[in-house]
Structure 1
Amino acid sequence: MPAPSPLPTYLYKILPAAPPSPLPARLPLSDLDRNDGYIHLSTSEQVPGTADKFFGSVSELWLLKIKYEVLAAGTDGDGDVKSEDKAEVKWEEVGRGCFAHLYGGDLGKGNVESVVKAEKKGSWFESLSLEW
């Protein structure tokens, strides 16, 4: 499935717990990401649904806000773009839509723009308003 048009300015990684502060060059992978072989990412429109589906029972989430163009350029968590084996964003069909997956790279201080703490008030759909 093709990438959304227009492409998002930001992608988000949902975390159920606060990441280390300051962010390291390489954040540890979640069990799901390690098992699937890529890092699961969401657009601003997808975050509330993903949060409700997978994190519905928690009252706080942390979101890594990542500029799409930084990931699309192959920027790894340490901020470097490798000439070989560079990280790649692929848009792939998943049951309820087309999601961004990061292959061959890590998230960290070199490609995460900011960390956003979100508190649930009602559902995540009611609680989140993120920048596209």
Structure 2
Amino acid sequence: MAIVAPPDPLPEFVYKITPTAPPEPIPEAYPLSDLDRQDGFIPTTADLFFASSSSFYLVKLRLSNFEPSSVKWDEVPGTNGCPHLYGNFGGKDVVSFKEVVRPDGKTWSEALQAEKEWLV
């Protein structure tokens, strides 16, 4: 995927997908997952990395807490770009988190439609 210019205006929030609930309390430096270490970014595309999962957690992060140089935007058709955070975040950056469950026979896109009020 190609790196593109950030959208204007920037979204208020970006999201980290994790297979398990975040630790409580959320530490000052959030532990990197194997996927984060392997890929060097925080994935935001459920269909790419969690296609066989029936649930995951979304961690809502306030984008303005991050230096612009630590966020790269990948070109994703049909979107304003997909943000990838390079580096780490911690409890001060987390607004909230929630579990998302994908019903049998549904895609992640369909499952996430039920969360659109939270995904602002």
Q: Above 0.5 in TM-score?
A: yes
Determine which of 49, 52, 56 is the counterpart of 1:54: 49
Query: 2:16 — aligned with what?
Result: 13
Is 1:67–1:111's contact at 8 Å kept on the other side of the alignment?
yes
After TM superposition, the structure 1 = structure 2 runs for residues 21-36 of structure 1, keeping only pairs within 5 Å, are: 21-36=24-39
Instruction: Work out the CA distance in 1 between the residues paired with 2:43 and 2:11.
Output: 12
Give the number of aligned pairs: 110
Q: What percent identity do the matched residue pairs reach?
A: 42
Letter in 2 for 1:113: V
Instruction: Work out the CA distance in 2 between the residues paired with 1:61 and 1:35.
Output: 19
Residues 9-68 of structure 1: CA deviation (Å, up to 9, x unaligned): 11000011112111111121122321333x3253xxxxxxx2123212211110110111
1:100 correspondence with 2:102: no
Gaps of 5+ in 2: none
Instruction: Work out the CA distance in 2 between the residues paired with 1:95 and 1:30.
Output: 27
Name the SS of the counterpart of 2:94 in structure 1.
Answer: coil
TM-score normalised by L of structure 1 = 0.69
Is 2:15–2:61's contact at 8 Å kept on the other side of the alignment?
yes
Is 1:64–1:116's contact at 8 Å kept on the other side of the alignment?
yes
Gaps of 5+ in 1: 43-49, 74-86
Instruction: Work out the CA distance in 1 between the residues paired with 2:6 and 2:21.
Output: 29
Instruction: Work out the CA distance in 2 between the residues paired with 1:72 and 1:107.
Output: 11
Name the SS of the counterpart of 2:91 in structure 1.
Answer: coil
| CA spacing shift, 1:33–1:7, aligned 2, 3 Å | same
Instruction: Work out the CA distance in 1 between the residues paired with 2:70 and 2:35.
Output: 18
